[in-house]
Amino acid sequence: MLFVWRGSVLPDIAPQLLWTTAFAVLVTVLHGRLFQWKVPLNFVPFSLIGLTLAIFLGFRNSTSYSRYWEARTLWGTLLNETRSLVRQALTLTASPSNAGVPAARLIAFVHALRHQLRGTDPATDLARLLPAEDCERLRAARFKPAVLLLMVGEWLRDQRQRGQLDPMMAQAMEVPLGRLTEALGGCERIAATPIPFTYSVIIHRTIYLYCVLLPFGLVDAIGAMTPVVVAFIAYTFFALEALGAEIEEPFGTQPNDLALDAMSRTIEATLREMLGEPPAQEAAATRTSGYMQT
């Protein structure tokens, strides 16, 4: 673990870490003097400030991880509820052969949600999964995942009107469909509501001031070891700040973000398997090489 590079935040913080260490070396060489003025600092105020800063960083990272874990839980809900809907379409309707229609729309919903959260174009996935008339309907839609859930609901209505689905069974199938709507709204809320910017500003400024002044407080006590200790402390604070900023937006494409590509393919593969279809080539992979987890 000491030499792990992929998934580490070290590449992101390396420039400021090197700059801080170089400054600590300069302060050590000058023995804490700045233009012939000896900076009168010791380690006592840094102990107090460091404790407060650690608590603040812990709060920030706890908040970021809560957002990350909620996002992961919501995507777990997508897997469970899409499975439930396809199973009900296969076992509760008079014509199980028609279950491929809602299944394709649910698979398209998962991929469309991934694209919406990342701000990318879902046209390729939609064309692969849906007939031309459905793609045309979705072309002008701003919130494509919501429209796809509406299309699944319309399929339930059509089956009920044709006598292929008992009204009580249709009501039961509305339950997982409603949970999918809630999961969609939860993902949109996380994506559209970042942690207030002032938290990042306060932490960023405090960390930099702390690490810049720290060598002046340590040089008289530990001498030549000052740059080493400063580098270690700076790495800890810079890394915690960078990690909190990275997982704060869990739907991105950084190594520690949620592996939405792999999860989308997993959902597609399991729904196709329930229908008795071979997995699509695009859905065969269950991991994405750029991520540290699925």
pLDDT of residue 288: 45
Q: What is the mean pLDDT of residues 18-38?
A: 84
Q: What is the mean pLDDT of residues 188-195?
A: 91
Q: Which residues sit opposite 33 in a β-bridge? A: 38
Q: Among 44, 46, 57, 58, which residue's Cα sits nearest to residue 212?
A: 46
Distance CA 90, CA 273 (A): 12
Give the mean pLDDT of the chain: 88
Rounded to two decimals, the pTM is 0.85
Q: Can you read off the two tokens belonging to residue 146?
A: 């919501």
Which range among 21-25, 29-33, 271-275 shows the weakest confidence by mean pLDDT?
A: 29-33
Q: 107 — phi, psi (to 5°)?
A: -65, -45
Under 8 Å between Cβ of 122 and 93: no
Q: Among 203, 182, 291, 187, which residue's Cα sits nearest to residue 249?
A: 187
Q: What is the mean pLDDT of residues 278-282?
A: 67
Distance CA 251, CA 116 (A): 10
pLDDT at 197 over 60: yes
Q: What is the mean pLDDT of residues 263-273?
A: 95
Q: 20 — phi, psi (to 5°)?
A: -65, -40
Q: 41 — phi, psi (to 5°)?
A: -125, 150
Residue-wise pLDDT for 209-265, tens only, equals: 999 888 888 888 888 898 999 999 999 899 888 888 888 899 998 888 899 999 999
pLDDT of residue 144: 96
- What is the longest distance spanned by two Cα atoms in the chain? 92
Give residue 120's pLDDT band: very low, low, confident or very high (50, 70, 90).
Answer: very high
Distance CA 46, CA 237 (A): 13
pLDDT of residue 46: 82
- How many other C-beta atoms can be found within 10 angstroms of the C-beta atom of residue 181? 16
Distance CA 27, CA 225 (A): 12
pLDDT of residue 1: 67
Q: What is the mean pLDDT of residues 102-126?
A: 95
Distance CA 104, CA 216 (A): 64
pLDDT at 294 over 50: no
pLDDT of residue 292: 52
Distance CA 182, CA 264 (A): 18
pLDDT of residue 291: 52
Query: DSSP per residue over 155-180, as a string?
Result: HHHHHHHTTSS-HHHHHHHHHHHHHH
Q: Can you read off the two tokens belonging to residue 275?
A: 């229908």
**Residue 121 carries which side chain, given as an amino acid letter?**
D
pLDDT at 39 over 80: no
Q: What stretches of 119-274 show up as alpha helix (H) in DSSP? A: 123-129, 132-139, 144-161, 167-192, 197-222, 226-248, 260-274
Distance CA 115, CA 112 (A): 5
pLDDT at 282 over 60: no
- Provide the percentage of residues in the chain whose pLDDT is more than 70: 92
